[in-house]
Amino acid sequence: MPQKKQKPSRKLPLMKRYGLILFVLAFALVGGKMLFASYAATAANMHIIATLYAGPTSSNWTKLTSAAPTVKYAILDICAPDGTGSGCSNTPADAKNSTWTSLIASLKAAGITPLYYISTNYGQVPTATIESELNNAITWYGIASPMFDTVSTASTCTAGFIPMTCSTYYKTLYTYATGKGAAAVMYNPGTIPPSSYVFGPKAILQVFEGTAKQFESTPFPSWMQSYDSSQFSATLAAGTSSTIATDVKDATNDNIGNFFENSEAEPPSYSTLPSFWSTEVSNVAAVGAPAPAPAPSPSPSPSPSPSPSPSPSPSPDPQPDPGGSSDPSVCTNPDYSACFGGTVDAGSLDGSDGGGDMSGTSSDNGPVAVSVDGVQISNNGALDTTQLSNGKHTITITKNGKTMKKTIYVNNKLSAFKRVRNYMYPELAGTPTLRNIATILTLLAPFIILALYIRKPFMKTARALYEKAMPPKSYLD
């Protein structure tokens, strides 16, 4: 009797079967990001926030401005002609000090943002008084960015005669300053504040103030790693040329993106720059901030006849493009109106209300092209931040042949699915529907493949259970 031919097995070899399953799982986790979206990690970046409480004619300011753009901020403690001032007599300045005008203009021209010193006296100064001080700084010097010193981390601040929680007190000041055009709002409690003090993307928390030796042994909380390094700063005293490299490295590891180290003993007066200033600048620049451009070599040229020129007048920061780019079509100013002469609705870019929008049309009705991290937005130039993954993004806006770039920090309050979607497919130049479908398919892929491999045993088991529960019946004609 001839033997029945057996059908060739269609089962894959064991290694191939499990290899395919592992491949599908790997695709679900990371493959989608490579196939459907561009993803790039943001490298650590560091700048110097210089604390220099010297007079406006000090030669140290020349050293400081020549170190831009590694030096990004400079704290100015300005006293009125009669000696009043928040950091001078613990009372608000009562008049403008015109001797500072030229220095402030030089700092801004170099791309350095001046931070106006204001003491909150550990939350005892009424918010109205501090707001008045900031208004004077804007009117007199064109400085809208404050450095709030003597910040309290206690639960309650007296705020004059209206007690409130310290978090509410300092958040009120943040909202007021950013509403006035502040490029940064720095807080100096001299220690690590609660994470609730990160009030928005323009907040800078000074999480350390002490000696270099103390800094090297200070542990920092893990929650700091959830924020961009540009939102934290450290100011060190009693440093040396042999400790600066280690301290900069430690700050980088601790996610501290703003740094300053002085050589003065504790407590420092901050009256001068450290003797190792050039070493400090080069170490900080090496972390990621561009190094200062070398000064051009002088060339002989006929001396032009002197002509009178008006003295520079202060204007609120951020300043119009000071010529930081050699390409006239690129605007290095982060302020939209200074670049294009209009406004753009940026909405709530920190996503605190669930996500903000950047409109694709300016107030002067001109067309605007918007891209995120180099990817063009297809929705007519409109950007909805709920479509972005949380973190730092570079926004490029193009209008009438001119381009500007600005950085936003997104912290959207989204559902778990949207967070997964934005992680797997960030900044896709497509509709949210396309990204939703891609996410669902990627998440289902391993289960679909698994079902295909176990379908035969599953079907057999299901049929056996069905026949047991529903035995076949015979019917008579």
**pLDDT tens digits for range 236-256:** 999 999 999 999 999 999 999
Does the pLDDT value for residue 104 go beyond 60?
A: yes
| Phi-psi domain of 380 (left: phi exceeds 0; alpha: psi -120 through 50; beta: other) | left
Spatial distance between the Cα atoms of 281 and 297, rounded to a whole number of angstroms: 21
Which of 6-10, 173-177, 442-446, 459-463 is predicted most confidently? 173-177
pLDDT tens track for 212-238: 999 999 999 999 988 999 999 999 999
* Pick from 255, 198, 197, 210: nearest CA to 230: 255
Would you say how long the chain is, in residues?
477
- The pLDDT value recorded for residue 299 is 42
Pairing, β 375-376 against β 369-372: antiparallel
Confidence band for 473, pLDDT divided at 50, 70 and 90 = low
> What is the token pair recorded at 115?
């931070």
Neighbours of 65 (CB within 10 A): 20
Look at residue 50 and give its three-state secondary structure. Answer: strand
Does the pLDDT value for residue 276 go beyond 80?
A: yes
Q: What is the CATH number of domain 47-287?
A: 3.20.20.80
Burial class (CB in 10 A: 0-12, 13-18, 19+), 391: middle
Average pLDDT, the chain: 75
Look at residue 361 and give its three-state secondary structure. Answer: strand
Give the global pTM: 0.56
Least confident stretch, 281-285, 302-306, 420-424, 448-452: 302-306
Spatial distance between the Cα atoms of 199 and 338, rounded to a whole number of angstroms: 26
Q: Which residue has the tokens 């707001």?
A: 131
- The pLDDT value recorded for residue 357 is 37
- The pLDDT value recorded for residue 57 is 96
Least confident stretch, 44-48, 170-174, 315-319, 365-369: 315-319
Distance of CA 166 to the CA centre of its chain: 24
- 384 neighbors 410 (Cβ within 8 angstroms): no
- 395 neighbors 407 (Cβ within 8 angstroms): yes
- Report the chain's C-alpha Rg in angstroms: 30
- Residues with Cβ < 8 Å from 99, sequence gap 6 or more? 55, 56, 57
- The pLDDT value recorded for residue 20 is 56
Domain boundaries, the chain: 15-36+434-469, 47-287, 330-427
State mean pLDDT over 368-387. Answer: 59
* More confidently predicted of 321 and 124: 124
State mean pLDDT over 385-402. Answer: 66
- The pLDDT value recorded for residue 350 is 31
pLDDT tens track for 7-16: 455 454 555 5
* Pick from 456, 364, 52, 2: nearest CA to 235: 52
